[in-house]
């Protein structure tokens, strides 16, 4: 059982006041197994990039499709603008994901280096800081001193504690390039959904009147699916999460469609 699943089960057991189920997830063997599993799935770190990249891909591309369809500019224009959005906006998001992840890591490394320098040059001052922090968390002075005495025996452990307890910072182990690639891939794959029917129309004749309704239906299903997939990150109810994203995406597309209708014929 993974850590997230164990936590989910624990919450459900608490809601039901189910002591037997709660005891199972608090079994030492279950806890140890969850720790092993959570360390064994590095790809899970990129679920956030994939989900949010995919959601942005669907919403922005379908907004383009809706705007062009509202203006009645034709399937060819939809394909051109849709592809331009997929590549341009997708690359922009990927670059943003890379720079964001890299900047966070650089800042963390800079702060850790500063703390390491202070530990080397002012160890007693750093111990005093940690004692104050732990006292602020409710420990007695004696308890705080014992904690710091144990933690400070190992420099790396000491630095880890200072980064979390003093600065409130956690190390981001994600690789920036993989964050970027996960974002780009999910953006393009999910963002292609609203365009699928139009791609098909390039190969075989289709009824133009059906293209937009089919794109609407496919996009709605994809939006709900990706919205529901957010539960892997937010741990919310999948139905509520899916409907929420469907509504947000629908509003975005509605605005784009309305703009297209209002500006129909402008410049032509």
Tens-place pLDDT, residues 50-72? 888 888 898 889 888 888 888 88
Q: In the predicted model, is pLDDT for residue 1 greater than 50?
A: no
What band does 40 get if pLDDT is binned at 50, 70 and 90?
A: very low
Report yes or no: 82 and 195 within 8 Å, Cβ to Cβ. Answer: yes
Which pLDDT does position 6 carry in this prediction? Answer: 62
Q: In the predicted model, is pLDDT for residue 42 greater than 70?
A: no
Which pLDDT does position 146 carry in this prediction? Answer: 93
- Nearest residue to 67 (alpha-carbon basis) of 55, 58, 77, 57: 77
The model carries a pTM of 0.72
At 217-266, the pLDDT tens digits run 998 898 888 888 777 666 667 788 888 888 888 888 788 778 877 877 66
Over range 10-18, report the average pLDDT.
Answer: 73
At 64-95, the pLDDT tens digits run 888 888 888 888 899 999 999 999 999 999 99
Which pLDDT does position 182 carry in this prediction? Answer: 93
Q: In the predicted model, is pLDDT for residue 134 greater than 80?
A: yes
Domain ranges of the chain: 1-39, 46-262
Which pLDDT does position 246 carry in this prediction? Answer: 86
Work out the mean pLDDT of the chain and round it to a whole number: 83
Q: What is the largest CA-CA distance in the chain?
A: 80
User: Phi then psi for 206, rounded to 5 degrees?
Assistant: -130, 160
What residues contact residue 159 under an 8 Å CB cut-off, 6+ apart? Answer: 112, 115, 116, 119
At 86-122, the pLDDT tens digits run 999 999 999 999 999 999 999 999 999 999 999 899 8
What residues contact residue 10 under an 8 Å CB cut-off, 6+ apart? Answer: 22, 25, 26
């Amino acid at each position: 059982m993974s850590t997230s699943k164990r936590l989910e089960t624990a919450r459900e057991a608490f809601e039901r006041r189910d002591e037997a189920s709660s005891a199972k997830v608090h079994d030492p063997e279950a806890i140890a197994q969850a720790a092993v599993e959570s360390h064994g799935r590095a790809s899970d770190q990129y679920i956030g990039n994939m989900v949010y990249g995919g959601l942005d891909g669907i919403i922005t591309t379908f907004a383009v499709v809706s705007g062009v369809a509202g203006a009645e500019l034709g399937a060819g224009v939809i394909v051109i603008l849709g592809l331009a959005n997929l590549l341009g906006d997708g690359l922009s998001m990927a670059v943003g994901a890379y720079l964001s992840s890299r900047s966070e890591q650089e800042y963390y490394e800079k702060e850790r280096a500063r703390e390491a320098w202070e530990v080397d040059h002012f160890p007693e001052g750093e111990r005093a800081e940690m004692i104050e922090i732990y006292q602020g968390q409710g420990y007695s002075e004696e308890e705080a001193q014992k904690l710091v005495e144990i933690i400070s025996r190992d420099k790396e452990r000491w630095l880890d504690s200072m980064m979390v307890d003093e600065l409130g910072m956690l190390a981001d182990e994600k690789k920036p390039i993989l964050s970027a690639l996960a974002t780009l891939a999910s953006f393009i794959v999910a963002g292609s959904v609203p365009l699928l029917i139009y791609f098909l129309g390039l190969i075989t004749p289709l009824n133009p009147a059906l293209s937009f309704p089919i794109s609407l239906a496919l996009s709605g299903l994809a939006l709900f699916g990706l919205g529901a997939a957010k539960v892997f990150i937010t741990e919310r109810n999948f139905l509520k999460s899916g409907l929420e994203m469907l509504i947000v995406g629908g509003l975005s597309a509605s605005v784009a469609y309305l703009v297209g209708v209002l500006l129909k014929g402008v410049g032509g």
